[in-house]
Structure 1
Amino acid sequence: MQRNATTQYPILLIHGLFGFERIGHFELFHAVKEALQAVGCRVFVPHLSATHDNEVRGEQLLLQIDRVLRGTGSNKVNLIGHSQGALAARYAAALAPHTVASVTSVSGPNHGSELADVLRQALIPGELPEKVAQNVVTLFADFLSVLSGSVAMPQNALAALGALTTQGAARFNQQYPQGLPESWGGQGPDCVNGVRYYSWSGTLPDHSQPSLDPVEHICRKLSKYFKKDAGQNDGFVGRFSSHLGIVIRSDYPFDHLSILRGVSPARAVSPNPIELYVEHARRLQAVNL
């Protein structure tokens, strides 16, 4: 593990849709937080609504940024958002850039998710063949069955789903375009209003043998509903939809959740996803953030 990656500003790790404390045998952000703290970073995990739109979650984040600033004496924070957490981070940076040093999107649906489009259509009678709708909803329910933990915050699942569709993301992007690339699949500006923007994401790894990981198995099933990013997605988010600011890389061999997890000796991958966060702390440290 790399040493001496202390950042000037505290790091906030922001969860996405259905944020939770534990999934299966591991805790969300646990390995990431421990790795960052081990190299000297001050790390906080704000609690946001598990299901709500980007604006509501963004307002909750702004309040917690203020608490962190008061508690640490710092005048800015570094925001690292996974999945929908990236959009909450973008909202906070757009409204209060003087409090945000950087926004990093990890597998963020910055242009929406084709899966969210399918799920939203599945809730409208007659919009999809019954069998397709049933398969999608069942797979999504299977995925949620491995999640546990909740926070006493306002919830609105339909608002969350609408915000993650490509149409919902397009509306959000019209109001908060900071860091977005001008062309599909390109890179965005590295700095807007004094805030630096970064992103990285993954695509489903190519395995000749079926995975024993139930989460990856479900992600592979869900990936079949992508059209524009067919074969270029992590099961929840398309590769090019994730681009924001400086794109570090968007095809790491990770599904949507393994990008948060350490690897086991039985199934080592390179790079280790947790090391990416430490590398990023050094990246932020190098530009005095």
Structure 2
Amino acid sequence: MKKKLWSWLLAAAMVLPILSTPSWAAGYTQTRYPIVLVHGLLGFDNIGPFGYWYGIPSALRDGGAKVYVAQVSATNSTEVRGEQLLTQVQQILAITGASKVNLIGHSHGGPTSRYVASVRPDLIASVTTVGGVNKGSKVADVITGALPPGSFGDTVFNSIVGAIGTLIDFLSGGSGMPQNGSAAIKAQTTATMAAFNAAHPEGVPPTACGEGAYQARGVSYFSWSGAKAYTNVLDVIDPALALTSLAFSGAKNDGLVASCSTHLGRVIRDDYAMNHMDEVNQTIGLVNIFETNPVTLFRQHANRLQGMGL
């Protein structure tokens, strides 16, 4: 009898870990529609073995999701990037036979994704912004204030940032996408985003720090973001983000975007102990070890979309 009891206990001990970690079960991230990841400013899909979405596409695919990584201009206006993304979405739909896609955009990839959903809602099941510049960034405001359009400084800045964007496009195997550094920064100012939101209001909160419509024109909207600029002493990017966070005068931010500015549709959370790059598991996974891993957040969200039939 005692031997049988121990056998049952041993079997239970083996099964419980499996039952308590459903996020790694087969099919956990298998959404109805393909997921398309959209990078932000100076972003890319892959440069050699190094991916902008470090470890995220493979983790989603391991759970059953069909995942595509968009490649739009590293530096340009929201509308230019949005038209590029729209073309890629149409190509993905043609390849997969799906009728819609789920867009997940980081940083400037948020408004870029929103543009596509606004002009072609029939092709989009959901838009999720991660650290999205949905109401602009004070960092962009500071840069444009210091470098007025048409000034010598603006010309030099545009040349440098545009050249970096061109290099990124080349290294990531791009097809010579147009780059415009000034347009990229201007697109993320609070003034430009206010005008953009007036033209594309879907999911935008009507209050300064509230939630927006969870669904608009058949598209579901979500957002999440971090609120801690310095998270890992080994990450070489963290000191720069700690510096840029000073532009927010103490308001909650991830180093580049104020938490309230990232809100769109259903706000999952805006206070993860992550900075702007942690949100996409950068740099190469050097994130806050005391916070939920960003890869886990993406897997959980894919499962959320699955549960909604998306």
Matched, 1:211 2:221: no
Residue in 2 aligned with 1:196?
A: 220
Matches within 5 A, 1:100-179: 100-124=124-148, 149-150=171-172, 151=174, 152-179=176-203
Residue in 1 aligned with 2:75?
A: 51
Q: Pick one of 270, 294, 301 that aligns with 1:250.
A: 270
Aligned amino acid, residue 56 of structure 2: V
TM-score using structure 1 length: 0.87
Question: What is the count of residue pairs matched by the alignment?
Answer: 272
Q: Pick one of 288, 298, 305 that aligns with 1:277.
A: 298
Matched, 1:180 2:204: yes
Moved more, 49-58 or 148-157: 148-157
- Per-residue CA deviations over 1:52-110 (Å, capped at 9, x if unaligned) read 11111111111111000000000000000000001011000001101000000000010
* Distance change in 2, residues 1:16/1:205 (3 Å): closer
* Distance change in 2, residues 1:21/1:96 (3 Å): closer
1:212: Cα distance to partner? 3.0
1:217: Cα distance to partner? 1.1
* Distance change in 2, residues 1:267/1:282 (3 Å): closer
1:213: Cα distance to partner? 1.4
The separation in 1 between residues aligned to 2:70 and 2:285, in whole angstroms, is 27
The separation in 2 between residues aligned to 1:66 and 1:264, in whole angstroms, is 32
The separation in 1 between residues aligned to 2:122 and 2:181, in whole angstroms, is 31
Residue in 1 aligned with 2:289?
A: 268
The separation in 2 between residues aligned to 1:118 and 1:33, in whole angstroms, is 34
* Distance change in 2, residues 1:266/1:84 (3 Å): closer
The separation in 2 between residues aligned to 1:97 and 1:200, in whole angstroms, is 21
Residue in 1 aligned with 2:244?
A: 222
Aligned amino acid, residue 127 of structure 2: V
Aligned amino acid, residue 308 of structure 2: V
- Per-residue CA deviations over 1:166-191 (Å, capped at 9, x if unaligned) read 00101101100100111111011100
Secondary structure of the residue aligned to 1:171 is helix
1:123: Cα distance to partner? 1.0
1:122: Cα distance to partner? 1.6
1:124: Cα distance to partner? 2.8
Residue in 1 aligned with 2:6?
A: none
Secondary structure of the residue aligned to 1:214 is coil
The separation in 2 between residues aligned to 1:50 and 1:264, in whole angstroms, is 22
Bigger share in helix: 2
- Maintained 8 Å contact 2:45/2:70: no
Q: Kindly indicate whether structure 1 or structure 2 has the higher relative contact order, using CA contacts under 8 Å at least 6 residues apart.
A: 1
Secondary structure of the residue aligned to 2:257 is coil
1:25: Cα distance to partner? 8.5
* Distance change in 2, residues 1:225/1:265 (3 Å): closer
Residue in 2 aligned with 1:40?
A: 64
- Maintained 8 Å contact 2:45/2:71: no
Secondary structure of the residue aligned to 1:13 is strand
The separation in 1 between residues aligned to 2:274 and 2:219, in whole angstroms, is 27
Calculate percent identity across the aligned residue pairs.
Answer: 42
TM-score using structure 2 length: 0.81
1:214: Cα distance to partner? 1.2
- Maintained 8 Å contact 2:230/2:242: no
The separation in 2 between residues aligned to 1:22 and 1:74, in whole angstroms, is 25
The separation in 2 between residues aligned to 1:181 and 1:285, in whole angstroms, is 25
- Maintained 8 Å contact 2:229/2:238: no
The separation in 2 between residues aligned to 1:76 and 1:124, in whole angstroms, is 41
Larger Rg: 2
The separation in 2 between residues aligned to 1:249 and 1:168, in whole angstroms, is 25
Moved more, 214-223 or 14-23: 14-23
- Maintained 8 Å contact 2:85/2:112: yes
